[in-house]
Amino acid sequence: MNGSSAGASAAKSPISPSAPRMLLRRLGAIDEIGVIGAIVLLSVLLAILVGDTFLSTNNFVNVSRQASYVGIMAVGMVFVIAMGDIDLSVGSIWMLSSVSMAIALREELPIWLAVLICMVVATLCGLLNGALSVWLRIPTIIVTLGTLSLFRGLGLVVSNATPVSGYNLETWFFEWIGGRDPVFGIWTSVWAMVLVGIAGWLLFTRSAFGRRVQAIGSNLQAARFSGVRIGRYRIMVMALMGFIVGIAAVVALAFNRNGSPTVGVGTELYVIAATIIGGTALTGGSGSVLGAILGAIIIQLIQNGLALLAVPPAWSTAVTGIVIIVAVTLDYLIKRR
C-alpha cells in the first residue's frame, strides 16, 4: 500500500521547477539565439507599427530576396573574419565580376561560359587579395582597402562607366535564375543563399579546413606550431570569399538584367555587419554561418521597416552604422566575460 501511495503521489507531483531553467539553458546554448530573438522582436515591432504592409506575403518574399545577396557573401565573410582577417573589397569584386559576365553575354557567348567568366573573375580577385597579403606580409584589411578601388576602377574601365546590356533577356537564365520558383514563389537567389549556407556550414563546422581556419584565428602561433600552413590557408580563404561573391553576382545579374557599374557600392559594410551581428568574433577563432545569414535578414528588416515608415533613405545607412557599433560592443563585452 505504501508503495502504491508513493507512486500515486509521485505521479501527481507538479513539474520540477528546474525544468524551465533547463529549457532556458538549452536555448541559451544555441549560438544564434540572440540573433533569432532580435529578428522576432524587430518583426513584432514592425507588425505593430506598419502591420498591413509589413505582414504581407509579398513584402516577406521581397525582404528575403534583398537580403539574399548580402547573406550569400556573409557566408564567405564568416571564414575570413573567423581567420582573423577582414575583406573590404567584396562590393568591388561583385561589380567587376558582374560587368564581366554582362560583357560576355553582350558578345553573344554561351550563358554557361558567361557564368564561368563571372566565377573565375571573382575567384581570381579573391586569390589576388590573399596572395598579396601573404607575399607582402600586409594585413588583409590593408590589401583589400587598396583592391577595393582597384577592382572597381577596372570595372568602370571595362564597362565605360555605363550599365552593360544589349543581350537577349528571353532565356532560361533570366527567367529561372532571376525569377521565382513555380511551387513556393520564392526567389531563386533565396534558394541560392540557402544552398550556399548549407555548404558553408558543413565546410566551416564539419571539415578539417574549417577547423584549421578557426584555429588560425584563435591562436596563430599555436596553429603554426601544429603544422598548419598559415599562408596557404589565408590564400585559400580569400579565394573562397571571391568564389562566393561570384555566386552572388550571378544571381544578382539574373535579377537586375544588366551589369551596373554602381552595384555593390558600400556592400562590404553590410556584409561585415551581417557577419558580426550573426556572432562571428572580430578577434577571430569562431563564427556562425547561420548567424551571418540571419544577420543579413536583420539588416534588411531594418531597411525595410525604415522604408515602410517613410524614413529618408539616408538614415538607413546611419542606422546600420549604429547596429554595427552595438553589435561590436556586445561582441567585445561577451568575449571579455
- What does the pLDDT look like over 279-330, one tens digit per residue? 888 888 889 999 999 999 999 998 898 889 888 877 877 877 787 777 667 6
pLDDT at 337: 57
Band (pLDDT 50/70/90 cuts) for residue 10 is: very low
Indicate whether 18 belongs to any domain. no
Checking if the pLDDT of 185 tops 70, the result is yes
CB atoms closer than 10 angstroms to residue 9: 9
Q: What local confidence, expressed as pLDDT, does residue 86 receive?
A: 95
* Domain contains 158: yes
Q: What is the mean pLDDT of residues 139-152?
A: 95
- Which tens digit of pLDDT belongs to each residue from 102-127? 999 999 999 999 999 999 999 999 99
According to the model, what pLDDT value does residue 1 have?
A: 44
The closest alpha carbon to 188, from 243, 250, 264, belongs to: 250
Contact 291, 32 (CB under 8 A): yes
Please compute the mean of the pLDDT values over residues 9-37 and round it to a whole number.
62
Mean pLDDT of 123-151: 95
Average pLDDT value for residue range 93-104: 96
299 domain residue, yes or no: no
| Burial of 301 from C-beta contacts in 10 A (0-12 / 13-18 / 19+) | buried
Residue 144, pLDDT above cutoff 60: yes
Count of domains in the chain?
Answer: 1
Q: Is residue 30 part of a domain?
A: no
Percent pLDDT > 90 in the chain is 62
Evaluate if residue 26 carries a pLDDT over 90.
no
- Nearest to 35, CA basis, from 73, 69, 67: 67
pLDDT of residue 119: 97
Q: What is the pLDDT of residue 317?
A: 75
The answer to the question of residue 111 being in a domain is yes
Higher pLDDT, 9 or 318: 318
Burial class of 120 by CB neighbour count within 10 A (0 to 12, 13 to 18, 19+): middle
- C-alpha 127/C-alpha 130 separation (Å) is 5
Q: Cα torsion for 243, 248, 249, 254, to the nearest 10°?
A: 140
Residue ranges making up the domain that contains 212: 69-293
- Of the pLDDT bands very low, low, confident and very high (cuts 50, 70, 90), residue 23 is low
pLDDT at residue 146 tops 80: yes
Confidence of residue 9 (pLDDT cuts 50, 70, 90): very low
* pLDDT score at 8: 47
Q: What contacts 144, CB < 8 A, 6 or more positions away?
A: 86, 87, 88, 89, 129
The pLDDT mean for the chain works out to 88
Question: Residue 148: is its pLDDT beyond 80?
Answer: yes
Residue type, 333: L
Domain assignment of residue 305, yes or no: no
| pLDDT interval class at 254 (50, 70, 90) | very high
Q: Which of 48-62, 64-78, 215-229, 291-305 has the highest mean pLDDT?
A: 64-78
DSSP letters for 55-104: TSHHHHHHHHHHHHHHHHHHHHHHHHHHTT-----HHHHHHHHHHHHHHH
Query: Is residue 206 a part of any domain in this protein?
Result: yes
CB 287 within 8 A of CB 281: yes
Buried b (16+ CB within 10 A) or exposed e, 52-85: eebeeeebebebbbbbbbbbbbbbbbbbbbbbbb
Contact partners, residue 269, CB within 8 Å, separation at least 6:
317, 320, 324
Instruction: Count Cβ atoms below 10 Å from residue 115 Cβ, excluding itself.
Output: 22
Our CA angle for 193, 28, 54, nearest 5°, is: 45
pLDDT at 182 over 90: no
Confidence of residue 16 (pLDDT cuts 50, 70, 90): low
How far from 74 is each of 59, 80, 155, CA to CA, in Å?
22, 10, 22
**Mean of the pLDDT values across residues 243-263?**
95
